[in-house]
A and B are shown apart, each in its own frame.
Chain A
Amino acid sequence: MATKASRSAARIMMAPAVVLLLGWMLVPLIMTLYFSFKRYLPLRGDSLDRGLDWVGFDNYVRFISSSSFWPSVQTTLVMVGGVLIITVVLGILLAMLLDQPFFGQGVVRILVIAPFFVMPTVSALVWKNMMMDPVNGVLSHLWRFFGAEPVSWLSDVPLGSIVLIVSWQWLPFATLILLTAIQSLDSEQLEAAEMDGAPPLRRFWHIVLPHLSRAITIVILIQTIFLLSIFAEIFVTTGGAFGTRTLTYLIFQRVIDSQNIGLGSAGGVYAIILANIVAIFLMRIVGKNLDK
């Protein structure tokens, strides 16, 4: 079917997208790599016009040996891991609940999915003020109602608070994808197991969970990629203070606040490598799916 003419036409049709993305990927990447080997402090008079000093792997070594590096890695892991555990576990439970027949399914679905459409700056600020404010927040009212001392969330449990906010944003995503996967489960298989007297927990463990494993993997991989670059939620709540500085935020501060471009670029290269390790796994799964 595909003739030579249509092949070359196809190539021309693809060209703009490919060229643009190639440029978008390579140009900044090469610049970041270049800066990462240079001493570049614009505030101390370094400028591109006069040329930058080559410092070898100095920036890479300094980025890793700085006292804020390991805490930021730890914060990143806690944040990404915490959100993943919360969203996947609650997502599975919620998806199984929503898969049951009940009244008002359409409306419930709409309510559950809504947080995903709220822009990150809004959800962070709404939670910070309307929910978590130590005096006037809804949670403080709730705490007082039950006779407990209100918590000042963002200064007492800052990391936990951000995990809560981000989980609220991503739970709909996990739920929706897991629900889609559950709905494709063959109900006859479950019925057969039920008739054979398998208790609910065993049915879940041996039939539902294996069926969901692929969807769970995809949820974890996609969320990890987005969660590694969480920015706005930290920017408008704690600004990276109180131990909420992730790797992404540390790099942001190096580049923007301290204007140490070389050091920040070396950090950027680490972040790119980290994201690529996750991406490789995601690509494998998506790629396999393409062959079908």
Chain B
Amino acid sequence: MARAISPRRKLITTAAAWTIALIIFFPIFWTILTSFKTEAQAINDPPLFFNFDWTLENYSVVQERSDYMRFLWNSVIIAGGSTLLGILIAVPAAWSMAFVPSRRTKDILLWMLSTKMLPAVGVLYPISLLFVEFNLLDTRIGLVVVLMLINLPIIVWMLYTYFREIPGEILEAARMDGATLKEEILYVLTPMAIPGIASTVLLNFILAWNEAFWTLNLTAANAAPLTAFIASYSSPEGLFFAKLSAASTMAIAPILILGWFSQKQLVRGLTFGAVK
């Protein structure tokens, strides 16, 4: 089956793949590296690679000056809250669609997906108006609800594709052995569903963490998450490369790590099961 690959060809492929990968990764690498330089070293000509005095000063300055932890906490609450709320609402829905499908299941699924296609800017004013009306502007709960709603279709879809892979025969076998509905759900289905639910949680946490339309437009000082925190660096003041780098590194590090764990689920989650 596997063709014999000449060692030379493998070496050439290795060189090419690594070169391209390092170019693609370079901006991230450079940001992380710069975050450990002083501002003067950050703009040194020629650029400094490893031959500089590493410092953690930027991190403490960013925390002191702009209270980074508050934005981080907002991001955690908003991304985590919207994901958990979404899961609570989506699990029963996906469950019933996967195990008790009806003629309309497919239409409902596709309709849910279509709500995801609604361009946010088209409903920006109505949503802000509703937010003002219900005193939700610049609150975490408001963003939790909005991000839950924009990700709900993806959550339902991902869970549906996972649940559908649980074989129905297992349920019948459990029933033959006299399991009640409650036992069936608790001891048979749940353990099989947990990996799928975990992947869904992971991907949607990432999507919510990085969401940058509603988080920029519906927050000010109190509920602003990291996306808005970073956007405040768009008007530079003096030397700021190293501080921008430190702030950026802190904003992306947690999600890069989570993201690398979720890369296998990514394809399924983002193509709605159309590519596996």
A: residues with CB less than 8 A from B are: 1-2, 6-7, 9-11, 13-14, 16-18, 20-21, 24-25, 27-29, 31-32, 35, 94, 97-98, 100-105, 107-123, 125-131, 135-136, 138, 141, 145, 168, 171-173, 176-177, 180-181, 184, 187-188, 191, 214-215, 218, 222, 225, 228-229, 231-232, 235-237, 248, 251-252, 255-256, 261, 264-265, 268-269, 271-272, 274-276, 278-279, 282-283, 285-287, 289-291
- Which applies to chain A's interface (DSSP): helix, strand, loop or mixed? helix
User: In the docked arrangement, what's the CA distance between A87 and B217, Å?
Assistant: 28
Q: Given the known A-B contacts A24-B149, A122-B251, A289-B274, are A113 and B263 also in contact in the complex, defined by CB atoms under 8 Å?
A: yes
B: residues with CB less than 8 A from A are: 1, 3, 5, 9-10, 13-14, 16-18, 20-22, 24-28, 30-31, 34, 42-43, 45-47, 89-90, 92-93, 95-97, 99-102, 106, 108-110, 112-115, 117-127, 129-130, 149, 152-153, 156, 168, 206, 209-210, 212-213, 216-217, 226-228, 230-231, 233-234, 236, 240-241, 244-245, 248, 251-252, 255-256, 258-260, 263, 266-267, 270-276
Q: Which 10 A-B pairs have the closest CB atoms?
A: A268-B122, A117-B259, A10-B96, A28-B123, A13-B92, A31-B126, A232-B212, A17-B93, A279-B117, A28-B126
Selected A-B contacts with CB under 8 Å, 17 pairs:
A14-B93, A25-B118, A29-B123, A102-B17, A119-B212, A120-B227, A121-B212, A121-B216, A121-B231, A121-B234, A138-B47, A168-B27, A188-B1, A264-B125, A271-B119, A272-B119, A285-B274
A108 adjacent to B21 (CB under 8 Å) = yes
Kindly provide the distance from the CB of B121 to the nearest chain A CB, expressed in whole angstroms.
5
B244 adjacent to A125 (CB under 8 Å) = yes
- Which applies to chain B's interface (DSSP): helix, strand, loop or mixed? helix
B34 adjacent to A181 (CB under 8 Å) = no
Kindly provide the distance from the CB of B86 to the nearest chain A CB, expressed in whole angstroms.
9
Q: Given the known A-B contacts A109-B263, A114-B256, are A32 and B274 also in contact in the complex, defined by CB atoms under 8 Å?
A: no
Across the interface, name the chain A residue whose C-beta is closest to B156: A17
Kindly provide the distance from the CB of B161 to the nearest chain A CB, expressed in whole angstroms.
10
Q: Given the known A-B contacts A32-B126, A138-B30, are A97 and B212 also in contact in the complex, defined by CB atoms under 8 Å?
A: no
A283 adjacent to B96 (CB under 8 Å) = no
Kindly provide the distance from the CB of B109 to the nearest chain A CB, expressed in whole angstroms.
7
B127 adjacent to A28 (CB under 8 Å) = yes
A10 adjacent to B119 (CB under 8 Å) = no
Q: Given the known A-B contacts A104-B18, A114-B25, are A252 and B92 also in contact in the complex, defined by CB atoms under 8 Å?
A: no
Across the interface, name the chain B residue whose C-beta is closest to A119: B210
User: In the docked arrangement, what's the CA distance between A92 and B272, Å?
Assistant: 21
User: In the docked arrangement, what's the CA distance between A130 and B248, Å?
Assistant: 11
Residues of B within 8 A of A117 (CB): 206, 210, 252, 255-256, 258-260
User: In the docked arrangement, what's the CA distance between A105 and B25, Å?
Assistant: 15
B267 adjacent to A16 (CB under 8 Å) = no
User: In the docked arrangement, what's the CA distance between A218 and B271, Å?
Assistant: 7
B245 adjacent to A31 (CB under 8 Å) = no
User: In the docked arrangement, what's the CA distance between A291 and B105, Å?
Assistant: 11
Across the interface, name the chain B residue whose C-beta is closest to A165: B27
B272 adjacent to A173 (CB under 8 Å) = no
User: In the docked arrangement, what's the CA distance between A109 and B125, Å?
Assistant: 41
User: In the docked arrangement, what's the CA distance between A218 and B113, Å?
Assistant: 14
User: In the docked arrangement, what's the CA distance between A32 and B93, Å?
Assistant: 29
| Residue from the list B149, B212, B217, B260 in contact with A20, Cβ < 8 A | B149
